[in-house]
Amino acid sequence: MSVRVRFAPSPTGFLHIGNVRTALFNYLFAKRESGKFILRVEDTDAERSRSEYRDALVEDLAWMGIRWDEGPGVEGEHGPYEQSKRLAIYQKYVEALIREEKAYHCYVTEEEVEEAKRLAHLEKRPPRFDNRGRFFTKEEIEKRKARGIKPTVRFKIENPKLKMRDLIRGEVSFNLDEMVGDFVIQRADGLPTFHLAVCVDDGLMKITHVIRGEDHLSNTPKHILILEAMGFKPPQYGHLSLIHGPGGEPLSKRLESVSVREFRKRGYLPHALANYIALLGWSPGDDREIFTWEELQKVFDLKHVNKSASIYDPHKLDWVNGQHFRAMSDEEFARHALAYLKREKLLKHDETFVHRVLPIFKDNVERFDQLPEKLELLDDDFSYEAPDVVKSEEAQEIFRSALEVLPELRGEGEALYEEFLNGLKPKVKAKGKNLFMPIRLALTGREHGPELKRLFPALGLDRLKKRFERARSGAK
């Protein structure tokens, strides 16, 4: 059977680093195995699900480069791929499980369940459901119906001990007697629970491998039992370690700072983000850390996913993104950077000029949102960080001589700066830092910045002349 994996997010918020890692690992595994990647939207939680979150997750996955073979917009033979459109299918399987006495209507109220848990806690017993509803007499059920109690449907646990081989963790054993009793597969309002819906969908969509977070590990025995009860062969399961924050604290799913939306807003490249996220729990087996999108799809191997918790490090993410910037051509960097500035409405200067200047910052930024500050040097009315240096006699001599040299220049590109220096040095006494610092201050107002040999041709001779004239006048 060919490999079929799925990513099944709930549209109750924006994609965050944890669930996008799940999507990425499933996608990369499918690519390696020449299988299919299915996107399924679990939107049965009507109160919390939002269409804008559904649209955002589809858009964000596409931005990351994660393309699905079946799912919303790419219909296949196993659709629909949104659970809210599959309620009749779930009802059919619930009825079959009841008919086959593998599940039953349970008239135990939520209050009674909570009270039983409280007593179990006091008596130091596992806080599992005691299955009392399974043994209600017909008379007791009729009394409860008369009181207006709406029943849930609970799945019967007949085989409490179960073993499975996890793709990442190896052999795992479960004793459901200690974990849970008969559990709900349909709520009192008639809607399926996550456990029922996910199993029906995995079975009908012929999912062969389920790769998900370890927070679902305790759900896996329930899912295996439901799938077997419905006549499906359970998929193979693999559970990824959780991602912790920089201080080792659990990383909240609700933190906007780790959402794909926020990463896009801050100016990360999609494939650099994928590169970094892949390193959260996986390594290629050597010390290599930087991969193109194409390389990542070739080298990823589930065998190299580890069981220990991963630490999200925003500084490491910045470093990885910066490495991808450095690997780009000047033209490619300028094109992506300009698109970002336009999308975020941060373009304040002539587009052609900005496009020409952008490559000089390729080695000095790690995210595109750092560019607006760098691009302030395009403003003509900047202040000088070291005004005393600008006004010094030595600096004024440099500016005066520079204005004499500029009209004589004929070079292009980085050669323009070398020609400028060759013409300037014989005219001034300053050397080394005493020469280059005044030039940088005159052109940018700052003591540090991009290489002058790249800045020179980007600014152009007219702008260079105006800035030396401004420095010569001692402005600000």
Number of C-beta neighbours around residue 219 at 10 A: 18
| Listed residue (103, 114, 95, 14) closest to 61, CA to CA | 14
Q: Which whole-number Å values give the CA distances from 1 to 16, 64, 239, in the listed order?
A: 32, 28, 22
Catalytic residue numbers read: 253
What residue type is assigned to position 361 of the chain? F
Residue 447 per-residue DSSP state: S
| Helices 194-204 and 220-229: angle between axes, nearest 10 degrees | 60
Cα–Cα–Cα angle for 138, 139, 145, nearest 5°? Answer: 90
| Listed residue (310, 219, 304) closest to 258, CA to CA | 310
Q: What is the largest CA-CA distance in the chain?
A: 109
Q: From CA 193, how far away is CA 45, in angstroms rounded?
A: 9
First and final C-alpha spacing in the chain: 74
Q: From CA 456, how far away is CA 435, in angstroms rounded?
A: 15
Q: Facing residues of 163 across strands? A: 173
Q: Which whole-number Å values give the CA distances from 427 to 309, 388, 397, 430, 468, in the listed order?
A: 63, 22, 9, 9, 16
* Helix/strand/coil for 319: helix
Q: From CA 464, how far away is CA 406, in angstroms rounded?
A: 8
Contacts of 294 (CB under 8 A, 6+ apart): none
Q: What share of the chain is helix, strand, coil (3-state, %, to 5)?
A: 50, 10, 35
Structure tokens given for 53: 């979150």
Rounded to 10 degrees, the C-alpha dihedral 337/73/33/290 comes to: 10
Contacts of 457 (CB under 8 A, 6+ apart): 412, 413, 414, 416, 417
